Amino acid sequence: MALLPILRFPDARLKKIASPVEKIDDGIRTLIANMAETMYEAPGIGLAATQVDVHKQIVVIDTSEERNQLLVLINPRITHMDGVQVYEEGCLSVPGIYDKVERAAEVDVTFLDIEGESRTLKADGLLAVCIQHELDHLQGKVFVDHLSQLKQLRIKTKLAKQARITA
Ligand code: GNR
Ligand code: NI
């Protein structure tokens, strides 16, 4: 297993659109194991392949308290959305920045599991937020794209300053 480097906003590679996984082979299984390790170590509640510069439709999520309920979504599609919720989001690709984003309150998502079986999951609350946040990454979107242009500019300035300090 290995920890993978996470791309940081505003890296242009975070804007790439992920392609569907055609075959779940050993390379994909190794990638998923490494993504899970990277998510748990960060620590985060989700990670999209886009964030580790792999532009395939793969997401790992664990919103459980005990951090023992790994969810792997391959080729995920939201088939139903309902209601509205606002949640204060963060992102491993936008470290130290948190802001409120409005999203659907409930989603149904269909996906392939790691065995290649087609599944459907109904989610609400934080899990629904996380699913929408991760599927955005696969479409080249980060949560700050939901914020005003002024906030996006402030975030870019703040992250650039941080990068200079840690460099
Ligand atoms: O760890 C994460 N926490 C989080 C909190 C609120 C809303 C979304 C998230 S996802 C984030 C990990 C991440 O960046 N996934 O792409
Ligand atoms: Ni994120």
> What is the mean predicted confidence (pLDDT) over 20-28?
98
Instruction: Provide the pLDDT for residue 166.
Output: 80
- Average pLDDT (31-57) is 98
User: Is the CB of 137 within 6 Å of ligand 1?
Assistant: yes
Q: Which atom of ligand 1 is nearest to the CA of 51?
A: 16
Tell whether pTM > 0.75: yes
The reply to whether 106 belongs to the active site is no
Which numbered atom of ligand 1 lies nearest the CA of 137?
16
Summarised one tens digit per residue, pLDDT across range 110-142 is 999 999 999 999 999 999 999 999 999 999 999
Give 40's pLDDT tier (boundaries 50, 70, 90): very high
Domain boundaries in the chain? 12-166
CA of 118 to the centre of ligand 2 (A): 24
Asked whether residue 167 carries a pLDDT value surpassing 80, the answer given is no
Residue tagged active-site, from 22, 102, 106, 134: 134
**In CATH, 12-166 is 3.40.50.720:** no
Decide whether any atom of ligand 1 lies within 6 Å of the 62 Cβ.
no
Q: Report how far apart, in Å, the C-alpha atoms of 144 and of each of 57, 69, 108 are.
A: 21, 27, 24
Dihedral (Cα; 86, 13, 79, 146), 10-degree rounding: 20
- Identify which of 27, 109, 105, 102 has the alpha carbon closest to the alpha carbon of residue 74: 109
CA-to-CA separations, 118 to 62, 80, 111, in angstroms, rounded: 19, 16, 6
- Write the pLDDT tens digit of every residue in 87-118: 999 999 999 999 999 999 999 999 999 999 99
